[in-house]
Amino acid sequence: MAITQTVPLLMLLNELGRLRQASGVSAERAAAELGCRVSKISRIHLGQSKVSPGDTKLLAELYGTSPELTTVLVELARNLGLKGDWTGYRGVYRESFRMLVDLEQASSRIHVVQSEIVPGLLQTENYVRALTKAPSPFGTSLNADDVARTRHERQKIITRDDDPPMLSFILSESALRREYGGRDVMREQMQRLLDIAQLSNVQLQALPFASTSPVAYASLNFALLHVPGPGIASPLDFAYVEQFDDARYLDDHERVDAYERLWSYLQAAALNPVESADFIAGVAAGYT
pLDDT at 233: 75
Residue 50 CB-half CA count within 13 A: 12
pLDDT in tens, 111-136: 999 999 999 999 999 999 999 888 77
pLDDT at 3: 44
Q: Which helix (H) or strand (E) holds 206?
A: strand 202-207
pLDDT at 252: 86
pLDDT in tens, 208-221: 998 888 787 778 89
pLDDT at 168: 98
Partnered with residue 239 across adjacent β-strands are 224, 250
What CATH architecture does domain 7-78 belong to? Orthogonal Bundle (1.10)
Q: Distance between CA 188 and CA 205 in Å, rounded?
A: 18
pLDDT beneath 70: ranges in the chain:
1-5, 81-93, 95, 138-141
pLDDT at 197: 97
Do the Cβ atoms of 54 and 33 come closer than 8 Å? Answer: no
Write out the DSSP string of 122-168. Answer: G--HHHHHHHHTSPPTTS----HHHHHHHHHHHGGGGT-SS-PPEEE
> If 0-12 CB within 10 Å is exposed, 13-18 middle and 19+ buried, where does residue 249 land?
middle
88-285: CATH topology is Endonuclease; Chain A (3.30.870)
Do the Cβ atoms of 255 and 246 come closer than 8 Å? Answer: no
Q: Distance between CA 220 and CA 228 in Å, rounded?
A: 26
For residue 5, give the nearest of 121, 133, 140, 102 by alpha carbon. 102
Q: Where are the domains of the chain?
A: 7-78, 88-285
The pTM of this model reads: 0.81
Q: Distance between CA 111 and CA 140 in Å, rounded?
A: 30
pLDDT at 83: 54
